Amino acid sequence: MTSMPLATPGTRSAPSTHQVPSSRPVFDNGVSAVPVRELSPTGDYEPPAPYQLIDVAPCTPAIGAEITGVDLAQPLGDALLAELHRALLEWKVLFFRDQSLTAPEHRDLARNWGTPEVHPFLPKVDGIPEVVRLARGADSPAVENVWHSDASFETTPPMGSILRAVQVPAVGGDTLWADMAAAYDGLTDDMKQRLNGLNAVHDFTQSFGATLGPDELAAAQKAFPAVTHPVVRTHPETGRKLLYVNRIFTHHIDGLPEDESRELLAFLYDQARHPEYQCRLRWRPGTVAFWDNRATQHYASADYYPHTRIMERVTILGDRPF
């Protein structure tokens, strides 16, 4: 395989190459943030089968696609649901423009994929506890500007989330998603071996717990004790390996000294920050995003302060990571 010369000879070890699952070449010049390699939505580089009922426009080579030809407020037949689900597994996050959904319709849409969660901490839409309302502005600055996977502190974290734009600023407030299968594939073989069999402890205390009083915190910790998940989980439907640690909810790696755990987690958190693994959505009122929470992390840019941004979200119950 071919490798590129080092930019500054003698300052780093010799260039290296490593393999992705289908033995595509990887180029590491010793300087770039991540090796250069061919990316694909599924990791197997096979052309996807054509879609018959929807139009799918990829946003990047690996993650994100805009879907047209669907009215999410209408009943979705089995064939259409099957295509949407295949697109979700393939592209990890789907974007739908110009949708007119009420909060009950939003909840009912999520029911096509499972049971909507009643979030234990976030504010809800009146009378519809499955729909979380995220209202930010001058009196409520954003706190979602950190890479994370929703509710990984739960024993069975959500399989997916559906987010709807209600009111957005004229500019700013974009959301970014990162493909954590691509991030895992981009690791060296040595790092993959190091991560094999490691588990990490996830806990809400360091995030939502900071907003609770002592009695509320004690009750919440009893209801949601810290849980252990694999550092590298396996997607239950696609079989792909995924990095499954995040800055909000992961506390430490089980069985490692504190310093080593902190250093390793810092490296793994940073894998979501590489643009090669990301897509970015500029919101408009009526835009809907549906993401696979098992396969992605996301980050909501807080660059719109002090303007108003109101979003509504439904998360869908998942299964235990393995």
Q: Which residues are catalytic?
A: 148, 150, 298, 313
User: What distance in Å separates the CA atoms of residue 143 and residue 90, rounded to the nearest whole number?
Assistant: 29
**How many Cβ atoms from other residues are within 10 Å of residue 260's Cβ?**
12
Tokens 């439904």 belong to residue: 314
As a whole number of angstroms, the distance between CA 300 and CA 250 comes to: 19
Question: What SS3 state is found at 285?
Answer: coil
Residue type, 74: Q
- Please count the CA atoms within 13 angstroms of the CA of 225 that sit on its side-chain side: 2
Beta-carbon count within 10 A of 172 CB: 15
Q: What are the backbone dihedrals phi and psi of residue 28, each rounded to the nearest 5 degrees, phi first?
A: -120, 110
Q: How far apart are CA 170 and CA 274, in angstroms?
A: 26
Dist. CA 17–CA 118, nearest whole Å: 46
